[in-house]
């Protein structure tokens, strides 16, 4: 879903000076745990969704943005069913 991908990339770009790609990891982008919290809150606000804590509790800094996107898209789709 393009809106989720675009929102994720926009939030990441606001959080780091690095140039993110879907293959980037949080480590590649030098994002720490505080950045992760800010990203979660921004995604929830921008997409009007609630991301369960369990999704981020097992998050690895080596997880790519594409993998994060795969976790968020179903939440967005369930929340915004037509």
pTM of the model: 0.89
User: pLDDT at residue 82 above 70?
Assistant: no
CA–CA separation, 6 and 4 (whole Å): 5
For 7-76, what is the HEC assignment?
A: HHHHHHHHHCCCCCCCCCECCCCCCCHHHHHHHHHHHHHHHCCCCCHHHHHCCCCCCEHHHHHHHHHHHH
Output 82 or 7, whichever has higher pLDDT. 7
Full residue range of the structural domain in which residue 75 is found: 2-79
Nearest to 38 by CA among 56, 19, 20, 65: 56
CATH code (residue 47)? 1.10.1200.10
Provide the domain count of the chain.
1
pLDDT digits (tens, 9 = 90+) for 28-75: 999 998 999 999 999 999 999 999 988 888 778 889 999 999 999 999
Using the predicted structure, report yes or no on whether residue 79 has a pLDDT greater than 80: yes
What pLDDT is attached to residue 1? 60
């Amino acid at each position: 879903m393009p809106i989720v991908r675009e929102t994720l990339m926009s939030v990441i770009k606001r959080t780091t000076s690095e140039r993110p790609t879907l293959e980037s990891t949080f480590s590649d982008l030098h994002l720490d745990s505080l950045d992760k919290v800010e990203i979660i809150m921004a995604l929830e606000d921008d997409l009007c969704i609630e991301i369960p804590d369990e999704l981020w509790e097992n998050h690895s800094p080596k997880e790519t943005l594409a993998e994060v996107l795969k976790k968020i898209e179903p939440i967005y789709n369930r929340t915004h069913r037509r």
